[in-house]
Amino acid sequence: MDTIRLVSPVDGSVYAERPASSLEAAREALAKARAAQVAWAATPLEARVAAVRAGIAALGEKRALLAEELAWQMGRPIRYGGEMGGVEERASHMAAIAADALAPETIEDGPRARRMIAREPVGTVLVVAPWNYPYLTAINTIVPALIAGNAVVLKAASQTLLTGERLAEAMRAGGVPDGVFQSLVLAHETTEALIRARAFGFVNFTGSVGGGRAIESAAAGTFTGTGLELGGKDPGYVRADADLEAAIDGLMDGAMFNSGQCCCGIERIYVHARHYDAFVEGAVAWASKLRLGNPLDPETTLGPMAHRRFAALVREQVAEAVAAGARALVDPALFPADDGGAYLAPQVLVGVDHGMRVMREESFGPVVGIMKVADDEEAIALMNDSDFGLTASIWTSDLDAAAAIGARLETGTVFMNRCDYLDPALCWTGCKDTGRGAALSRLGYLSVTRPKSFHLRRLG
């Protein structure tokens, strides 16, 4: 039997290990899910909502423990308190809109006929969660899927093994019936075999482009719905009329928070010539004040990357860029904790261009490249010059200009004067290599349900 080992980025020790479920054991778990889902779907919506809300509340009672476990598992400093604020915000909103989002659409209800379109659960939903925000990203699909009457199987990332167990414990404590929510430790091969066998009504995956291709390939020919969020290379644009201080603080936080390990983190910044020099100076000063160190230390503001191989990729991109003419402006001597492994100092690059990997491929680390632009047209062209399209951030005092620029951007979300945030009332989506699908908002219920039409004709 395969064993999944979680190596902590804090000290390189094995923090947790779990046996992977065999294919047969996974099939048994799915049979249990299918059996439990029938009764769960027949449970009144109000009771399903109450149980899920109670499950989220039970999870929240352990927020201090969860934050500490996340520090050990993937390196986020405990000073930021884990992910429960966002989890509660998203779960609360999706629960609040459930009755309206899932209500039948009545076309006619009169003496001649009743015609309507109802929403039915798809059955069993598989959620393949990433390690960078294992609770937040999973909740995006878990909450609406359960509320809509589905059973849910969660496959937590190997780097954050314990998060699946914590979610399962919380949902049981909240009153979600046995079998309706399960966390399974699955090898990639087992996951793909189950998808090929059409074991799920819907599969949500958050992760790499390669992982998304594997999921899509496994689902090919099964007609299983898939939602794929595959990362980004999100741009920020500082217009001539921007509040410079706010732009520096907002974009640099968006670039460096969670050691840059955010799907919608800022990885490239385009600054109008009017502000370029001042912005670069401010960005370097901002990054230089970060404190790299043990994430269990409350004074640490920048923890290690989740794995030393992720840090190695960022180092390679930076080295290649510098060799090609870029300049690295943050003094590495300010960060003695940078050990050449998972602990990686932040970096700001100038003299970059789109021929460099650091400006085209996802870095997913504490590095950002900054380029000077002459106007909106140049900024739009550069922001669109990417294989990804998750979010884009525009810093300006002109809302109409931001809307006009945003309309021309190839992206899923347009921000003005903020970044790196998921508004649960808005659809979370992307385009190009970022993937496809819709989470959160009313649209988040569409992927975990299917429409059923009723044409009930009265005779006489």
Which residues are catalytically annotated? 229, 263
Distance, CA of 235 to CA of 233 (rounded, Å):
7
Tell me the CA distances in angstroms from 307 to 82, 160, 207, 310, one per residue in order. Answer: 18, 11, 15, 5
416: enclosing H helix or E strand: strand 413-416
Both structure tokens of 345? 């100092």
Look at residues 197, 295, 235, 228 and name the one whose alpha carbon lies nearest to residue 420: 235
Residue 64: Cβ within 10 Å count: 12
Cβ atoms 368, 253 nearer than 8 A: no
Instruction: Report DSSP letters for 214-248, one per residue.
Output: HHHHHHTTTT-EEEEE----EEEEE-TTS-HHHHH
Beta-sheet pairing, 124-128 with 202-206: parallel
96's CB contacts (< 8 A; 6+ apart) are none
Residue 120 DSSP SS3:
strand
Residue 243 CA to its chain's centroid (Å): 28
Both structure tokens of 453? 């039409």
Angle at 54 between CA 424 and CA 161, to 5 degrees: 75
